Amino acid sequence: MNQSELKDFLDQKAEQYNSPVFIESDPIQLPHRFSKKEDIEIVAFLVSTIAWGNRTSIIKNGERLLLIMQNEPMSFVQNYNEEFAKDLKFVR
């Protein structure tokens, strides 16, 4: 594959995957819900750590994660402490 063919291939894939139709059924929808760079990065990182199984399962578990973080990932990370975690009842 020469450089021109590679560019065409990558442009085609970017168009395919960077579209609302693809995003709405993919776990990438979760970081797309946020506008602050910090929130996007945190959600993308955390969801990638649970990315096993099918896309529906990943989205469902990502939704649960966002619920735990009260849809404020950066604030959750900045304010996390053991007492806070006990209040959320997910740390034993």
Contact (CB, 8 A) for 85 and 76: no
Per-residue pLDDT tens digits for 28-62: 999 999 999 999 999 999 999 988 889 999 999 99
Could you tell me which residue, 20 or 81, shows the higher pLDDT? Answer: 20
Amino acid identity of residue 85, one-letter, is A
Q: Where are the domains of the chain?
A: 3-88
Give CA–CA dist 83/14, Å, rounded: 44
Does the reported pTM lie above 0.85? no
pLDDT at 91: 47
